[in-house]
């Protein structure tokens, strides 16, 4: 399936693309557009104004997707807190990692294409998922 998002990938869009690939659609193909009016008919739009899979209320798109697809994994929700704070900077969650994530994503976006950013951030999110999961399983901070 094809998924469409705005060009100029940052934290929420890259996290959503990872979520799609790892938890919703492992064969996903991504299309980058300027706005919702350019979304191909055969694509699902995300992280754009006015689309179902976007920001709603105080949620960033990653949180919206977790809710919409009933993903209750506590590791994903911890990642959601980090993504939320990196994207919205509203102190809704205690996520000190957000600043570093935001810096990394902004730096990658300046130096690489959207496709390259997604290919570089996928293993980062995989590693973060594994790290947080280990802490959830052991009931503490992973070492």
Dump pLDDT digits (tens) for 82-114. Answer: 999 999 999 999 999 999 999 999 999 999 999
Q: Tell me: pLDDT of 26 over 70.
A: yes
In the sheet that holds 43-45, the strands lie side by side as: 29-33, 2-6, 43-45
Q: What are the tens digits of pLDDT across the range 36-58?
A: 999 999 999 999 999 999 999 99
User: Per-residue pLDDT averaged across 68-79, rounded?
Assistant: 97
Rounded to an integer, the average pLDDT of 130-138 is 84
Is residue 143 pLDDT above 80, yes or no? no
């Amino acid at each position: 399936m094809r998924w469409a998002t705005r060009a100029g990938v940052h934290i929420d869009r890259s996290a959503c693309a990872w979520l799609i690939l790892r938890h919703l659609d492992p064969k996903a193909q991504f299309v980058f557009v300027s706005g919702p009016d350019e979304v191909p008919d055969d694509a699902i739009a995300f992280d754009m104004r006015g689309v179902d899979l976007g920001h709603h209320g105080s949620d960033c798109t990653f949180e919206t997707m977790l809710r919409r697809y009933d993903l209750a994994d506590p590791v994903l929700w911890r990642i959601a807190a980090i993504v939320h704070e990196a994207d919205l900077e509203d102190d809704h969650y205690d996520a000190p990692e957000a600043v570093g994530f935001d810096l990394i994503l902004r730096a990658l976006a300046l130096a690489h294409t959207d496709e390259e950013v997604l290919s570089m951030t996928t293993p980062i999110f995989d590693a973060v998922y594994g790290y947080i999961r280990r802490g959830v399983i052991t009931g503490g901070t992973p070492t």
